[in-house]
Amino acid sequence: MALGSLISSVASANQFKIDQVMLHSLAEELMTVSDADKLGGVFFRFLGLSVKGVDPYDLALKVNELEVRWRSVAAEGAAMGFAVMDIVLGKKTRWSHFKGQIQQCYLPSLYLGRGMAIGLIKPRCYFHHDVEESMFSWLTIDGMGFSQAFLHHLHKLGKYQGLLPLHDCDDKTHQSIFDQGIGRFLWLNHGHELPVLVKIINKQEKHRLADLWSGIGAASTFLGAVDKENMEYLKQEAGIYAPDLAVGASLACRIRLADGSRMPHLNDVIETLCGINAQECAELSEQMMDKLSPYGVDVNGIHYSSYHVWRKRLREFF
């Protein structure tokens, strides 16, 4: 409900002529989301606080006051809110200020949050100047894919007819990471009904399937709440894309171990999807980053992002 209001009140305003009063009213609504769903409650509360105008420094302190398992989620919500404010009000300082105050282990969440804001409000990519500032800054595009999939879901009233949305930049690397974000949304929306999830994926174009499965691997590993039997079913249904499922799981595993929020389910999920334990998976992810420039690499005259190369290395391993 709250996110729907954010979309209708903010994303639909093409000229971004939105005043502080409207933004504050949106923030109040976001902050009243029940914590019965702890994950959503934390995300929306910090999204609301950032939109309401809480100083980035103070909000970074509030993130660190949470139980460690909720900090990445809170950082993502706050980052989305600050990015919304930057885009709508035209002062591109809040998100960067927050980034300067938060611990480095939460960087992936910050870029995901920024991408969600861009995807809801200004889908056309305008962040090329800094998308290669670090390997995980490419997750901005993942976040865009997530929020564009959500908009598509609302438009179709929950019925995925035809293909899922495409990224609006003519770049294969962008589309690849964008589709990973769509895969994450599909898991969040249909992870409780796996046959439906698989049916939706199988309707998509074949060249997009690997990245959709990667997103499902990332979301299912990060969020958990699934048993080993269901993860084995998921791996079986992925078929030739099981290595891509493992790539996404590796990303989530690295984030969980880097920020200290290792969940009880993590080792079982990683062993099922990746064939190694969680610690080994995190170490492998670090090894695959060795000697990767944030500006990517050129191979036979073709430029590849560092994030693309990292995922390719992981896939070849699995």
Q: pTM for the full model? A: 0.86
Backbone angles phi, psi at 169, to 5 degrees: -120, 140
Query: Which whole number is the average pLDDT over 130-152?
Result: 80
Instruction: Answer yes or no: are the C-beta atoms of 74 and 32 closer than 8 Å.
Output: no
Half-sphere exposure for 67 (CA within 13 Å, toward CB) = 8
Q: How confident is the model at residue 261 (pLDDT cuts 50, 70, 90)?
A: confident
Least confident of 35-49, 214-228, 234-248: 35-49
Give the per-residue pLDDT at 237.
Answer: 95
If you average pLDDT over residues 140-148, what whole number do you get?
89
Using 50, 70 and 90 to split pLDDT, how confident is the model at 2? very low
The band of 36, judged by pLDDT with boundaries at 50, 70 and 90, is: very low
DSSP string, the chain: -HHHHHIIIIIT-TT----HHHHHHHHHHHHTS-TTSHHHHHHHHHHHHHHHT--HHHHHHHHHHS-HHHHHHHHHHHHHHHHHHHHHHS-TTHHHHHHHHS-GGGHHHHHHHHHHHHHHH--S---TTTTTSSGGGGHHHHHHHHHHHHHHHHHTTT---SSPPPPSSS-HHHHHHHHHHHHHHHHHHHTT-HHHHHHHHHTS-HHHHHHHHHHHHHHHHHH----HHHHHHHHHHHGGGHHHHHHHHHHHHHHHHHTT---TTHHHHHHHHHSS-HHHHHHHHHHHTTT--TT-EEETTEEE-HHHHHHHHHHHH-
Res 289 pLDDT > 60: yes
Check if the beta carbon of residue 204 is closer than 8 Å to that of residue 164.
yes
pLDDT at res. 181: 93
Mean of the per-residue pLDDT values of the chain: 80
**pLDDT tens profile 164-192:** 777 776 667 788 889 999 999 999 888 88
Distance CA 291, CA 137 (A): 17
- Over pLDDT 90: what percentage of the chain? 30
Helix axes 266-274, 228-238, angle to 10 degrees: 30
